[in-house]
């Protein structure tokens, strides 16, 4: 047996850096109180200049926002009895939704069973860097009017639109002072004293988000924005929503995600009772052959987490190269943050590597 069970994990990541599959990555994996591994490797930026990466580097979490903001808030409100996940949207906000959306529910939206297409690429129609609340409102209305691709509840079709609309719903229910970034900061991240987890609003950022670009892992040299993106959200639709959206826009360090993972495993209060957490991180019967949890993804043989996690595990990935997986049966978690879209979003082999890497990580945790 290897004296260090993670030697092969580190070698795999080091080879991925050397072969140019990814610019840099931070890995934290742990099981119980006596096994933990951390590695920061590679660079926060390689073009046009080179910047080092560390465990305190901030990453654009991309779709991890869905679970670490929108899902978490909805779970809190459901746990306290203040939000019915199965109520028609029309009952929650009378007169707000088009007729074809009025009967949808938060559960359908967050489990990707509402029938929306995978997304609207508004970058093809709208220019970047348009500031103001009125512009943000117009973008939301585009998503409200998006046509359904299939009948609700017919099948799971992964789409950003559901979480975007739930994020908007939570803002509307909360009133003028409940912009999503403010609500998350107050009701979620303050619970765990997370000082490095935040949205970065492009017009009116919270004080915690005022960081220099050098604090972040760079993402894409974006042809739409015509600049290297660092410290502002990579996702174009989230950019059009001024950096704060239900599907993307959150930034964090690996250490803050570790605090979240530990809290979800029971070490701290997340504002969700244990029964609700267990029920909503299990498969949701929203469509034939549905396998996803509420907001969260679950392990599957052809999925990004490999095939070694327990069936009660749950997690999510982000387009920028981020992922978080929590395995209650093992009392374990795996956090992998990378900037795989830097300097280009073209996949250079990282997506094929990720399941194999997670298999190695779980093997090391189990040894």
Give the residue among 52, 48, 41 at the shortest CA–CA distance from 16: 41
Model-level pTM greater than 0.95?
Answer: yes
| 1 pLDDT above the threshold of 70 | no
User: What is the rounded radius of gyration, in angstroms, for the C-alpha atoms of the chain?
Assistant: 20
**279-309: pLDDT as tens digits:** 999 999 999 989 999 999 999 988 999 999 9
Task: Provide the pLDDT for residue 94.
Answer: 97
* Band of residue 335 on the pLDDT scale cut at 50, 70, 90: very high
Name the token pair of 145: 């009017």
Pick the CATH number of 66-185 from 3.40.710.10, 3.90.1150.10, 3.30.930.10, 3.30.420.10: 3.40.710.10
User: Cβ(314)–Cβ(326) under 8 Å?
Assistant: yes
| 247 pLDDT above the threshold of 50 | yes
Per-chain mean pLDDT for the chain: 96
Mean pLDDT of 173-186: 90
d(CA 196, CA 307): 31
Task: Provide the pLDDT for residue 2.
Answer: 53
Find tokens 């660092």 and name the residue: 230
Name the token pair of 148: 């359904």
d(CA 49, CA 29): 30
**CB within 8 Å of 44: residues ≥ 6 apart:** 23, 24, 51, 52, 53, 57, 214, 216, 217, 218, 339
Within the chain, which residue ranges are assigned CATH 3.40.710.10?
6-64+195-366, 66-185
If 0-12 CB within 10 Å is exposed, 13-18 middle and 19+ buried, where does residue 1 land?
exposed
Task: Provide the pLDDT for residue 119.
Answer: 76
DSSP letter at 213?
G
* Count of C-beta atoms within a 10 Å radius of residue 22: 24
Q: Which residue(s) pair with 314 in the sheet? A: 326
**50-97: pLDDT as tens digits:** 999 999 999 999 999 999 999 999 999 999 999 999 999 999 999 999
**15-47: pLDDT as tens digits:** 999 999 999 999 999 999 999 999 999 999 999
**Quick one: what percent of the chain has pLDDT higher than 90?**
93
**Residue 144: helix, strand or coil by DSSP?**
helix
Look at strands 314-318 and 322-327 and give their pairing: antiparallel
User: Cβ(195)–Cβ(206) under 8 Å?
Assistant: no
Q: What CATH number is given for 6-64+195-366 in this structure?
A: 3.40.710.10
How remote is the C-alpha of 70 from its chain's centroid? 9
**130-166: pLDDT as tens digits:** 989 899 999 999 999 999 999 999 999 999 999 999 9
């Amino acid at each position: 047996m290897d004296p260090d069970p993670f030697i092969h994990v580190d070698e795999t990541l080091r080879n991925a850096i050397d072969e140019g599959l990814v610019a840099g990555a931070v890995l934290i994996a742990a099981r119980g109180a006596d096994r933990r591994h951390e590695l920061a490797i590679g660079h926060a930026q390689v073009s046009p200049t080179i910047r080092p990466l560390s465990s305190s580097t901030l990453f654009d979490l991309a779709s991890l926002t869905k679970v670490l903001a929108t899902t978490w808030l909805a779970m809190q409100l459901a746990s306290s009895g203040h939000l019915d996940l199965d109520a028609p949207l029309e009952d929650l906000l009378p007169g707000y939704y088009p007729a074809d959306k009025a009967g949808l529910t938060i559960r359908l939206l967050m489990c990707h069973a509402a029938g929306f297409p995978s997304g609207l690429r508004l970058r093809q129609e709208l220019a970047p860097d348009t500031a103001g609340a009125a512009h943000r409102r117009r973008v939301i209305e585009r998503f409200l009017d998006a046509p359904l691709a299939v009948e609700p509840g017919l099948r799971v079709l992964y789409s950003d639109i559901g979480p975007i609309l739930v994020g908007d719903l939570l803002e509307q229910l909360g009133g003028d002072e409940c912009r999503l970034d403010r609500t998350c900061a107050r009701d979620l991240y303050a619970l765990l004293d997370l000082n490095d987890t935040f949205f970065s609003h492009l017009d009116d950022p919270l004080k915690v988000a005022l960081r220099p670009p050098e604090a972040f892992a760079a993402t894409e040299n974006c042809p739409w924005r015509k600049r290297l993106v660092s410290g502002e959200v990579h996702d174009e639709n989230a950019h059009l929503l001024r950096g704060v959206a239900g599907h993307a826009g959150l930034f964090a360090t690996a250490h803050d995600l570790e605090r979240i993972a530990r809290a979800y495993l029971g070490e701290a209060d997340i504002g969700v009772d244990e029964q609700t957490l267990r029920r909503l991180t299990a498969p949701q019967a929203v469509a034939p052959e549905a396998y996803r949890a509420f907001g969260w993804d679950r392990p599957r043989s052809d999925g990004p987490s490999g095939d070694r996690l327990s069936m009660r595990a749950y997690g999510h990935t982000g387009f920028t190269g981020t992922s978080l997986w929590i395995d209650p049966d093992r009392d374990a978690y795996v956090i992998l943050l990378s900037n795989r879209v830097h300097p280009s979003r073209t996949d250079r082999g990282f997506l094929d590597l990720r399941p194999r890497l997670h298999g190695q990580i779980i093997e090391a945790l189990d040894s």
